[in-house]
A and B are shown apart, each in its own frame.
Chain A
């Protein structure tokens, strides 16, 4: 991250500062860091370590109709199963499609909204900013429940309205349900991404705009030629967040599943992991989770490296 932030020194604090900490201050640093480090260890490192450990185990059983189960070291058995699992790959393919469409759409809308907020044209800024951000305050599950009412042919005023004008939408049908879930995610997260971009826009010094105006640049040119390139690091950041979020997709489809049979129990990789765990196969669920984490890691870091190289950061 420091690579990117140095390009826009106004956005984040200067990296030079941290050099000064040394010998006698180590105690103070530890005192400040421990409150973070302990929960991090307990609630992050330990569970991850436990999942890793589980992913290398297999269930064994003493004889008899039910037997007594215990776990033993199983090497890469669980991983071999993940890679052979067609359900796993089709769930990855499904959210890949989801992400390729949803992430650009959402970030484009967020960028346009952030740029609009930043122009002198828009009068009711505070109101616009808060309403756009509002959905982010709604928990994902609640949002999905709310939207599931709007999608449901039995209950939805929206469907009633569309039906009355002669269009019978089936938001929960086999072809549409993925995009209905994408719509919920977009609704939830656009305002959040907009705020990150807007914060970056606020940090751009006014002199740049004045110089551009003197050179005869229109608002349009200023937006696309000056603002967007300068806040590129924020766009990269929101993209990385969105890639991670897409791979973790769970709440929206899991809630929609309760009213649509077109969402299977293995619809997204996380749902598959949950379904496997609920069948008491904790070891396989752990291996699936580890593979999802690795894919997330590779994709998000890959994207960051790619963009930082191309932008010459």
Chain B
């Protein structure tokens, strides 16, 4: 009898393993870029929404209170966001809605991760509610609606105004002036650096490339064209290489690490090239330095030059979503309703991508931590100067890793940051080939 039990269980296990294998390989399984249908459900609906924003559960609680028929469950996936999402997709268990950064949208698109919500007329109508460049990043240049923009990361320069005053440094408006300030500071006190260069942070570095109109990818004639190592990019790497070689910036600090905050805490670093969401990061992690920080426009390459964007996210309609009507309703509220946006700005430090968000009273007020300066005016100005034609590649994660590995080598003295661009370019072409995406090296 036990023999029978064992044989049955073996057969069951074998059958299970076969189903697993089959479900993961069938081409029919991946036919998802097509539009979903948009019919309201009869009765109560529960949506799954995965995100990485602090305090998002409280925002959603507000929605749940007012919408008993469309209940939303949140899950924070800050720890390994894309690993979690990728595995869930592979297992066919993706949530209805998920937070996805702009830079990872094309990668996930090539993994058939999204469902097109354009069958819902409300989804297409939402277009006018968002800052135009954010919308074009979510629609991949076609008419589909795969995600709603949530926030952006217009960049700016955070300065320790007390240290700048102490050492007689003028606020730098261009990168040349910034380098001059770095030199002057180093001469006055070798223990202080103007900032740090984290070679392990490609996202930040991409923001710098973006500022200089470095187009990393374009698509034409049935092919992707990869130009990660363009002249505009090289101008950026050569600039930072000089600061690194002259020992004017620290290279031993990882962004957001305890070590980084410790260095700021010990007054070893006088500025920070960051994005809008960094405002709450400094406020929350360095409370003792309240009143010492100012936020000014990011240094530019020319007198009236462009700004960059670092980060920012969307809320995407994920594959398998069978409640598009309700999802569009919730997603619209989440990212355009003034009450929701105000709460997200306060709790999560989000700088809205919705036009309505830019009119929020909270964004026109002074912020106590920054001497009551109207810091959001700086970000609004920055937001207007972001190159709206910048596009991300379909294998961005791999390219970022290659860039980081090579930049780390460069800061350790093996090669240059410009070599790192070439490494990233090669990785981009190789990874696209691996994913069967036709690509050539661009100019």
Contacts and interface: CB of A to CB of B under 8 A. Distances in A.
A278 B82 CA distance: 8
A284 B434 contact: yes
A280 B222 contact: no
B86 A61 contact: no
A79 interface: no
A308 B13 CA distance: 37
A110 B139 CA distance: 60
Contacts of A280: 86, 107, 110-111, 395, 397, 435
B393 to A, nearest CB: 11
A266 B423 CA distance: 14
A264 B408 contact: yes
Interface in B377-424: 394-395, 397-398, 401, 404-405, 407-409, 411-414
A31 B198 contact: no
A49 B19 CA distance: 12
B109 A261 contact: no
Contact of B412 (A38, A59, A67, A261): A261
Contact of B436 (A33, A61, A264, A275): A61
Contacts of A67: 110, 436-437
Interface residues of B, number: 68
Nearest to B219: A65
Contacts of A50: 17, 20-21, 24
A261 B271 CA distance: 21
A144 to B, nearest CB: 14
Given A34-B6, A59-B436, A278-B397, A68 B20 contact: no
Contact of A60 (B3, B13, B200, B436): B436
Nearest to B410: A261
Nearest to B408: A261
A172 B431 CA distance: 30
Interface in A172-217: 172-174
A153 B407 CA distance: 21
A160 to B, nearest CB: 12
A69 B436 contact: yes
A68 B30 contact: yes
Contact of B25 (A68, A71, A153): A71
Contacts of B435: 59, 61, 69, 280-281
B412 A30 contact: no
A9 B435 CA distance: 56
B64 interface: no
A296 interface: no
Interface string B9-31: 11001001100110011110111
Contacts of A68: 30-33, 112
Given A70-B27, A261-B408, A65 B140 contact: yes
A46 B16 contact: yes
Given A31-B5, A172-B252, 4 more contacts: A28-B2, A68-B30, A70-B26, A275-B401
The 7 tightest CB contacts between A and B, nearest first, are A279-B398, A70-B27, A261-B408, A61-B436, A30-B2, A154-B259, A264-B405
